[in-house]
């Protein structure tokens, strides 16, 4: 069944082109725990959600690609031989096409209209949704034969290339491998996953969007990644380890603090603790021990805010509000940081009260109306019938 957004995408396609398109749905993601450790050999626990990007695509038997972004109300026509770096949304779609070309896959002309129901900058990875839907569609329409893992990796490379964000694999993987009502436990070292069903009995997941997206987000992301690499280099040399995963307690980092300097040391401390915490959290979630699991989410937030320094006052405020309410058993910032959403696990009967309390207080403090986003765990990218 098509919803409003997918109908709109399909209808705009029909107004502009005479062919019948294929329709694809590509989800955003949430992440329960394991933040900023996908590029540090950790485990992460994302899930695809029931909100994302819809694509209507059809081949046009020319050498021209016609993109229409419904959300930005912009168009782009480009020859397949002229694919190059541009700005904004164009970078994401063009980079995906470019990755196919780099694999010597001959992408020909097509018409493409896309739009969605996830906000840019909300920390639910609209970028991976934009990349995943297009990559999946191109792969199907041209019969390139890449599997889901290859597509996820292609999308990750696409994000590194034109947009220049050196992201890990979590978002693109969740986008391709999402499974309804299941959490993905992804080992980012082996790039293998297992699913486990999420049983929230009596609790619900609620996202609160701060509606801020500080500009630092992508530049600081790359800085964090560099700082982790620097720290790991020192540990490799001095301690003979290959990965943060080989460290069993953050105390093992202390002897290297001077060599690392305070900032790099703090980043590494967070990474080591978060890798251990996520493994612990995965066990707790599998045992349905939600209250202990939730405590670890608060600890993650503390680490992201104080040691990794990717939070902001708006996110900290919402997590603090959650901490004051005993029926919110876990809360933390989610995604890359510097704005976007908090993810909260809340007792069902207290959701309404908590949300009205937290959103009113937030608005009073920041003069911004936060957005409550209700999500369900859904399937990964797929074709849907028109
Ligand atoms: C962004 C990146 C991911 C991951 C998260 C932080 O969403 O795209 O690869 O690093 O930030 O966990």
Question: Which band of pLDDT confidence, cut at 50, 70 and 90, is reported for residue 131?
Answer: very high
Whole-Å CA distances, 201 to 180, 198, 297, 347, 355 = 16, 9, 18, 9, 19
| Spacing, Cα 360 to ligand 1 middle (Å) | 29
C-alpha of 160 from chain center: 14
Among the residue ranges 36-40, 196-200, 241-245, the one predicted with the least confidence is 196-200
Q: Are strands 64-69 and 110-116 parallel, antiparallel or unpaired?
A: parallel
Q: Is 170 in the pocket of ligand 1 (CB under 6 A)?
A: yes
Mean pLDDT score, 313-319 = 98
Atom of ligand 1 nearest to the CA of 44: 12
| Spacing, Cα 77 to ligand 1 middle (Å) | 30
Atom of ligand 1 nearest to the CA of 36: 12
Mean pLDDT, the chain, rounded, equals 96
Choosing from 167, 176, 216 the residue with most ligand 1 atoms within 8 A of its CB, the one to mutate for a pocket test is 167
Question: Which band of pLDDT confidence, cut at 50, 70 and 90, is reported for residue 377?
Answer: very high
Amino acid 213: pLDDT: 87
- Integer Rg of the chain from CA: 21
Amino acid 191: pLDDT: 97
Amino acid 218: pLDDT: 77
Atom of ligand 1 nearest to the CA of 165: 8
- pLDDT surpasses 80 at 1: no
- pLDDT surpasses 80 at 81: yes
Taking only the tens place, the pLDDT of each residue in 281-310 is 999 988 989 999 999 999 999 999 999 999
Strands lying side by side in the sheet with 182-187? 43-44, 182-187, 192-197
- pLDDT surpasses 90 at 386: no
Amino acid 286: pLDDT: 86
Taking only the tens place, the pLDDT of each residue in 143-200 is 999 999 999 999 999 999 999 999 999 999 999 999 999 999 999 999 999 999 988 8
- pLDDT surpasses 90 at 122: no
| Spacing, Cα 126 to ligand 1 middle (Å) | 12
Buried b (16+ CB within 10 A) or exposed e, 88-120: ebbbbbbbbbbbbeeeebebebbbbbbbbbbbe
Q: Is 35 in the pocket of ligand 1 (CB under 6 A)?
A: yes
State the catalytic residues: 171
Amino acid 10: pLDDT: 96
| Spacing, Cα 76 to ligand 1 middle (Å) | 28
Q: Is 28 in the pocket of ligand 1 (CB under 6 A)?
A: no
210's CB contacts (< 8 A; 6+ apart) are 312, 314, 315, 318, 339, 340, 341, 342, 362, 366, 368, 370
C-alpha of 210 from chain center: 16
| Spacing, Cα 45 to ligand 1 middle (Å) | 12
Percent of the chain with pLDDT over 70: 99
Q: Is 380 in the pocket of ligand 1 (CB under 6 A)?
A: no
Q: Is 38 in the pocket of ligand 1 (CB under 6 A)?
A: yes
> What residues does 115 pair with on adjacent strands?
54
For the entire predicted model, the pTM comes to 0.96
Q: Is 336 in the pocket of ligand 1 (CB under 6 A)?
A: yes
C-alpha of 74 from chain center: 24
Task: Please tell me the distance from the alpha carbon of residue 52 to that of residue 29, in angstroms, as a whole number.
Answer: 8
Question: Which band of pLDDT confidence, cut at 50, 70 and 90, is reported for residue 119?
Answer: confident
Indicate the helix (H) or strand (E) that contains 35. none
Q: Is 309 in the pocket of ligand 1 (CB under 6 A)?
A: no
Among the residue ranges 83-87, 91-95, 194-198, the one predicted with the least confidence is 194-198
Among the residue ranges 118-127, 210-219, 254-263, 317-326, the one predicted with the least confidence is 210-219
User: What's the DSSP call for residue 293?
Assistant: H
Choosing from 168, 220, 227 the residue with most ligand 1 atoms within 8 A of its CB, the one to mutate for a pocket test is 168
Amino acid 114: pLDDT: 98
What does the chain come to in residues? 386
201 vs 259, residue with greater confidence: 259
Q: Is 112 in the pocket of ligand 1 (CB under 6 A)?
A: no
Question: What is the number of helices (H) and of strands (E) in the chain?
Answer: 11, 13
> What residues does 69 pair with on adjacent strands?
74, 114
| Spacing, Cα 170 to ligand 1 middle (Å) | 6
Cβ 332 vs Cβ 365: under 8 Å? no
Taking only the tens place, the pLDDT of each residue in 210-220 is 999 877 777 89
Q: Look at phi and psi of residue 339 and say left if phi exceeds 0, alpha if psi is from -120 to 50, else beta.
A: left
**Three-state secondary-structure class, residue 73:** coil
Cβ 131 vs Cβ 148: under 8 Å? no
- Residue closest to 23 by CA, chosen among 54, 44, 48, 50: 54
Atom of ligand 1 nearest to the CA of 127: 8
Amino acid 2: pLDDT: 85
Amino acid 372: pLDDT: 96
């Amino acid at each position: 069944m098509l919803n409003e957004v997918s109908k709109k995408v399909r209808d705009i396609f029909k107004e502009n082109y005479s062919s019948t398109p294929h329709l694809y749905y590509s989800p955003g993601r949430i992440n329960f725990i394991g933040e900023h450790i996908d590029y540090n050999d950790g485990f992460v626990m994302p899930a695809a959600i029931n909100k994302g990007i819809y694509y209507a695509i059809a081949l046009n038997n020319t050498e021209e690609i016609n993109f229409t972004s419904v959300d930005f109300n912009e168009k782009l026509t480009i020859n397949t031989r002229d694919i190059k770096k541009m700005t904004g949304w164009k970078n994401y779609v063009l980079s995906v096409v470019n990755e196919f070309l780099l694999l010597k896959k001959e992408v020909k002309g097509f018409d493409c209209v896309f739009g969605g129901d996830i906000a840019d900058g909300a920390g639910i990875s609209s970028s991976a949704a934009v990349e995943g839907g297009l990559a999946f569609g191109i792969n199907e329409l041209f019969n390139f034969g890449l599997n889901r893992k290859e597509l996820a990796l292609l999308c990750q490379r696409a994000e590194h290339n034109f947009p220049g964000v050196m992201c890990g694999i979590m978002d693109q993987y969740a986008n391709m491998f999402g499974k309804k009502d299941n959490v993905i436990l992804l080992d980012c070292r082996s790039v293998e996953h297992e699913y486990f069903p999420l049983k929230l009995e009596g609790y619900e997941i609620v996202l609160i969007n701060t509606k801020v997206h500080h500009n630092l987000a992508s530049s600081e992301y790359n800085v964090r990644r560099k700082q982790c690499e620097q720290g790991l280099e020192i540990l490799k040399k001095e301690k003979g380890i290959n990965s943060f995963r080989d460290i069993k307690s953050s105390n093992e980092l202390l002897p290297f603090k001077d060599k690392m300097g305070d900032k790099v040391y703090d980043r590494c401390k967070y990474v080591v603790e978060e890798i251990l915490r996520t493994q612990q959290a995965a066990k707790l979630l599998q045992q349905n021990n939600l209250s202990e699991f939730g405590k670890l989410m608060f600890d993650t937030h503390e680490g992201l805010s104080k040691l990794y320094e990717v939070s902001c006052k708006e996110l900290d405020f919402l997590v603090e509000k959650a901490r004051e309410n005993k029926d919110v058993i876990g809360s933390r910032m989610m995604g890359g940081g510097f704005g976007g959403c908090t993810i909260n696990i809340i007792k069902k009967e207290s959701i309404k009260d908590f949300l009205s309390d937290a959103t009113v207080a937030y608005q009073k403090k920041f003069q911004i109306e936060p957005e409550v986003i209700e999500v369900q765990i859904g399937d990964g990218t797929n074709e849907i019938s028109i």
